[in-house]
Chains A and B, each alone.
Chain A
Amino acid sequence: MSEAAVPGGLWRRAGRQLAGNTATRLALTVLILIALVALLGPLWSPWRFDQLDWQHLAVPPGRLAAHWLGTDRLGRDLYVRTLYGVRVSLLISVLASLVSLVIGVTWGAVAGFAGGRTDEWMMRFVDVLYSLPYLFIVIILTTLFQRGSIVVLLLAIGAVGWLTTARIVRGETLALKRREFIEAARALGLSNSSIVVRHIVPNLLGPVAVYATLTIPQMIIFEGFLSFLGLGVQEPHASLGNLINVGAQEMQSAPWMLLTPATFLVVLLICLNVLGDALRDALDPHER
């Protein structure tokens, strides 16, 4: 990571590369639009996400001005519910990325800095978790604790997302701790913990934060998967996962209930993946 020494150069070049690509610009625009609509869109609708409209059950989209994306079987407005679901899915995925960032950075920095036997055991633990299908761990965690609680969901998703972060951080830490400024800090009499907190972690944060943003689509899929199986966000709350689940059960008579949230999820994932790939290419020194 010799580029880390001149962050301006790497980041500026990466930024220029990202801005120069049409697909990336398009993906970013669509993503910002979706986020804005999810945040502000429901404000213009008189309906709440859990409000029932008994006069209009399972109305297809385009039939009624009051529910232009239609309603579900209980007469809840799908425009509001879908946007609310996008909001929940985005929120959970961003927060879960943060959770996994915190765990991964702590674990990796401690392992890399401690070295020796401690490092070996900590990384062996990561290897073991790696070899298990991560969603099994999430399923077990979500059901062992209170089902449907967003905090548990976040912790469960974050708890499996940190493994790669920990590996990256450990590698970077190993390289960092031999650098002169760490030696200088040690010579000044700083304790191990304050060296890690004050000098190692700030130097890691750039590359690792980028990696964490790359994990957001993964987190959206985790959340959707759990909610789809009925282990994540619970009714009457909505997330893209449980909207798709309800939609899949109703698709024979009301296909729009599946298609609307599915379209949002697909577009969201494609944009995030395009951005992620571009970001990775821009920051990967091997490509230049």
Chain B
Amino acid sequence: MLRYALRRIGGLIPTLFVIVTLSFCVVRLAPGGPFDQEQTLTPLVRANLDRLYGLDQPLSVQYGHYLRGLLHGDFGPSLSQRDFTVSELIAQGLPVSVVIGLCAILLALLIGIPAGIAAATWRNQGADHGLTVFAALAVALPSFVTGPLFALVFALTLHWLPVAGWEPGAPRYLVLPVLTLALPVAAHLARLTRVSLLEVLRSPWIRSARARGLGGARVLWRHALRPALLPAVSYLGPALAYVVTGSLVVETVFGLPGTGRYLVQGAIDRDYPLVMGMIIVYGALLLIFNLVADLLYGWLDPRVRHE
């Protein structure tokens, strides 16, 4: 297990390097620059600005400079929000985004997996059918529809929760954004768990466990559940990717000071360092989370470790 973990951690660094290099190339090769929209700039001012931010240097020099900065945790200055460096913006926004994302994933696990187990246990009964319909709805509807609708119903009509905003340490601001992000993931997890648990319950080793006289609950908890959770675990990586993309919408809808809106605004303003910094940070988060999911998978299914 330890060797497997070390090997997987070692694989992170080249992947991260590829992400950095690719995002640098793509962002820099595109037409248009960050100062294009400011038409009042005289050529001299423009040249000075370019020099200040190093944009007049050859690309290879800029790349080397950028890599060196990264090693010190320096993502460069933000071109659109001139008073801040990208690192400062990330440091401000990331805690909010991470809290919301992790809460959403935890909530999705807490709802989705028990719901899936329940649906498989009481197969083809009312609860199962209800879950199937609900899950189909939750999976089909994107966050930019559910988010505003939740706000309309729970905040503007019922006045249970605030419409938007953020206060550190005030969980009521978290409820709607987390719910919006968690529902589709929970629905997906419930579906996966239901299908795989049903399949496992039909397998020969479960039949033999039953033949040895084990009761239904014991078979479920001791024998069936662990292999049945594998698909749900391997969905965790895509789930985080989903939550991350969804957070762009949710942070806009609920006015949260997270990093998602920096990515969108940075992209609109062609703020190279900001966009790249966001991509690298999100890329690293996704890689780490995928690693955790893989290790969990390896722990649940020992066959994976020995490949």
What are the residues of chain A within 8 A of B26 when measuring CB–CB? 140, 144
For residue A68, CB closer than 8 A to chain B, the reply is no
Interface pair B27/A270, CB less than 8 Å apart: no
Bound state CA distance, A241 and B252, in angstroms?
14
Bound state CA distance, A142 and B242, in angstroms?
19
Query: With A133-B241, A145-B30 as given contacts, are A244 and B267 in contact (CB-CB < 8 Å)?
Result: no
* CB interface residues, A 219-268, toward B, < 8 Å: 221, 224-225, 228-231, 241, 244-245, 247-248, 251-252, 255, 258-259, 262, 265-266
Interface pair A258/B267, CB less than 8 Å apart: no
* Tier of interface size on chain B: 35 or more
Bound state CA distance, A153 and B286, in angstroms?
26
Q: Which of B18, B144, B242, B244 contacts A228 (CB 8 A)?
A: B144
Main secondary structure of the interface of B (DSSP, over half): helix
Main secondary structure of the interface of A (DSSP, over half): helix
Q: Which residue of chain A is the closest to B19 with respect to CB atoms?
A: A132
For residue B201, CB closer than 8 A to chain A, the reply is no
Interface pair A140/B275, CB less than 8 Å apart: yes
Q: Which residue of chain B is the closest to A133 with respect to CB atoms?
A: B241
Interface pair A143/B267, CB less than 8 Å apart: yes
What are the residues of chain B within 8 A of A259 when measuring CB–CB? 152
For residue A217, CB closer than 8 A to chain B, the reply is yes
For residue B162, CB closer than 8 A to chain A, the reply is no
Query: With A225-B249, A228-B249, A255-B152 as given contacts, are A133 and B286 in contact (CB-CB < 8 Å)?
Result: yes
Interface pair A262/B267, CB less than 8 Å apart: no
What are the residues of chain A within 8 A of B245 when measuring CB–CB? 133-136, 225
Bound state CA distance, A217 and B141, in angstroms?
10
Shortest Cβ distance from A153 into chain B, in angstroms? 14
Q: Which residue of chain A is the closest to B156 with respect to CB atoms?
A: A252
For residue B89, CB closer than 8 A to chain A, the reply is no
Q: Which of A132, A135, A270 contacts B137 (CB 8 A)?
A: A270
Interface pair B148/A217, CB less than 8 Å apart: no
Bound state CA distance, A200 and B151, in angstroms?
51
Q: Which residue of chain B is the closest to A261 with respect to CB atoms?
A: B145
- Which of A128, A224, A231, A266 is most buried by chain B, counting CB atoms within 10 A of its CB? A266
What are the residues of chain A within 8 A of B252 when measuring CB–CB? 228-229
Bound state CA distance, A259 and B19, in angstroms?
40
Write the residues of chain B forming the contact surface with A, with a CB cutoff of 8 angstroms. Answer: 18-19, 23, 26-27, 30-32, 136-137, 139-142, 144-145, 147-149, 151-152, 156, 163, 241-242, 244-245, 248-249, 252-253, 263-264, 267-268, 270, 275, 279, 282-283, 286, 290
- The 5 A-B residue pairs whose C-beta atoms are closest, nearest first, are A144-B30, A248-B148, A143-B267, A133-B241, A228-B144
Complex A-B: 6 CB contacts under 8 Å: A139-B248, A140-B27, A140-B279, A143-B270, A245-B144, A273-B139
